[in-house]
Structure formats: C-alpha cells, structure tokens
Homo-oligomer: A and B are copies of this chain.
Amino acid sequence: MVIVMGTNATQADIDLVLARLAEQGCRGELTVGVERTIITVVGPTTPALQEDVRVLAHVVDVVLLGKSYDLAGLDSRPQGTIVGIGDGARSAEIGGEQLAIIAGPGTVESAEQLAALGAPLREGGAAALMGGSLRPGQSPYAFTGLGEEGLRHLAAAREATGLPVVEEVPDTVSLPMVAGYADALEIGPHGMTNFGLLEAVAATGKPVILRRGFSATLDEWLLSAERILLAGNPHVVLCEAGIRTYETATSHTPDLSAIPALKRLTHLPVIADPARACGQADLVPDLAVAAVAAGADGVVVEVHPNPDHALADGAQSLSPEAFLALSARLAALAPAVGRRLPRPA
C-alpha cells in the first residue's frame, strides 16, 4: 500500500498517518520528494486500512498493491486446472487439450425434445448436456421451466446419451433438487454475487460452472470463484456470457477479450457462452470459433430440434444441423490453436 501526502502536509500530518499504521501493526517508510512525501506501507494491509487512512488530513491518495484471490490466482497452480464432470462412462473434462462443448436446449420442453438431440450432440462431439429446467426470469410473469419434470427428462437423456448433465441453480431453495439430478451446477449471472448461493453450491462438492455477472469486473468474478474454492470446492469453471454495455446491437456484449486476460490471472478453465451473451443464433458460430481461438477451453451452445418452434430462446438456438456445422468448424480449427475435438465416427 502506498500513501500519497498532499503538498501542504506537515510533519504532524505525516506522524498521524504513521501512528495510525502502527496501531494496525503496519510500518510506514517515507520517501520525501521535492513536491510531496510518499509513505510506503509494510505489513498486513487491507481495504479497511486503506479507507481508514484515506480520510486523514492531507492524504491525497491511497493505492493498494496486489491481488486478493489467492486460491484462484494463477500463481497458486501455474500448470492449470482440469475440472471433471460426471463419473465413469458418463464423464467429461474441461480445461485440458480437448475442447469441451456443453450443449442442449435453453429450455427443456419434453422427453421427445431431448431424445431428438441425442444423436446430433453425440455426433458433434458434445462433452456434456445442458437444458434449462429452472429458468429464473427477470419478470415474475415469465415462464420458468418445467422444474423437476425437466430434470427427470435430463436424467433420462443422460442414460440414453452417456453425457453428463449441467443445470443452472437459481436459488438455494431449489439446490437440493437440482443437485439430486445434475452432474455439474451452473451459477447464472445474477447468482454470481449471491454469496449464500455460492457457498451452498460449493458445499455440494459438485463442479460449478460460474457465469460472469452482467456488470462484473474480472476481479469481482475471480473473487466469486475464490469464495467457492475457499469453501473447499476446487472444481470451478468460469463461463463468459457477455457484459452490459451501451451497445444495443446485441442483447449483451460478448467479451472475448476476457478469455486471454483470465488465462493470465487464473488457473481455472474458461469457457464461453456466445448465445446467451449476444442473443442471436446467427452470430453464435463465429463467436464460438473466435472464443476457442482466443484460448477458451470450451463453449456452451444452445441447440433445439426446431428453433422456430422453441418455447423460449428460439432466436439464440442452433438447429441440430447448424450445431453439427459449428462442431465441424471447431474440429477443423482446433489443431491450429493447439486443441483437439474428437468426433465419433
């Protein structure tokens, strides 16, 4: 921590700062310049101490140095982390050389809907199946999914396809139900700062797909990941799904630059969800390919047997044919960016 004293600070002002630091078990070292004095703090600094000092007389600025997500930070695990989802024959990994595609319908509508997706998902090399069953909507009047019926359909589809299941957990009340069916738990953008939910989800021990809050900085996002790690659950995957900006051409602005930036800050796997970021199916393939080229360990893709008749999110869902075309593009691209995407047959 560095404390900048104003040009009119007296020795008494400086002494007051030093005394405050001493009270908190810190030591201040002075650098006396021509115009101003700088106090560099040695010892256990905290944001509270920063605020504490900032209000003292003639303190112009207090700058904290260093980061605060020790467990999520790259230094703590420079080799990177691979997160496993599911077990036995029905498992997948996110974070290794192999690209992980998580695919399925934005909203689970029926067993038939999921059955129609099994073949194309397998053929396209999907690593996991997702499908919205509890969909928290902004409006209290919106459709919120089939609930447990949807989860049962997903569990059946897991048996049929061998793909582990990913499901969003909207709140702590529904956590036990979701955790009873899903292999990995997703936290939506509104959940990223629902700290009680993060801790409850962490306690299940299941892998967590942590989507970025719509106005979260990278630091805040990593602090939410830190909270899960600190609770003893190391299986965290970060999922970029767009930020809120002034631009209205897309529903949110996909922030692909977060992918390489995160790779320099954290050892956790990073995936991208372009459909929920931009809201437009026709942009999804290009953005998914770009995300992988930027370093993403995988992508989330909404697929629907018939997007034109989807109960919701049809506008951002790919048809099975479009999904297979995207998968082929990713498989062709993968070797050029040091990845691979095996496709059965």
Contacts and interface: CB of A to CB of B under 8 A. Distances in A.
Interface of A: 2, 4, 29, 31, 33-34, 36, 38, 40, 42-43, 47-48, 51-52, 54-56, 60-61, 63, 65-66, 68, 136, 138-143, 170-174, 190-191, 193-197, 214-215, 217-220, 223-224, 226-227, 230, 243-250, 253-261, 263-264, 274, 277-278, 281-283, 286-287, 289-295, 307-315, 329, 332-333, 335-337
13 contacts: A2-B38, A38-B40, A38-B65, A47-B139, A51-B312, A54-B315, A138-B220, A244-B244, A245-B245, A257-B277, A260-B287, A263-B286, A329-B337
Given A257-B253, A257-B277, A52 B309 contact: yes
Contacts of A56: 308
A190 B245 CA distance: 18
Copies in the complex: 4
Nearest to A61: B65
B172 A48 contact: no
The 5 closest A-B pairs by CB, nearest first: A171-B196, A215-B215, A290-B294, A293-B293, A31-B40
Given A171-B195, A314-B52, A261 B256 contact: no
Given A42-B34, A283-B257, A311-B48, A246 B223 contact: no
A2 B37 CA distance: 12
A139 B54 CA distance: 20
Given A33-B42, A51-B315, A173 B171 contact: no
Contacts of A38: 2, 40, 65
A198 to B, nearest CB: 9
Contacts of A40: 2, 31, 33, 38, 40
A230 B139 CA distance: 11
A55 B307 CA distance: 8
Given A40-B31, A196-B171, A217 B190 contact: no
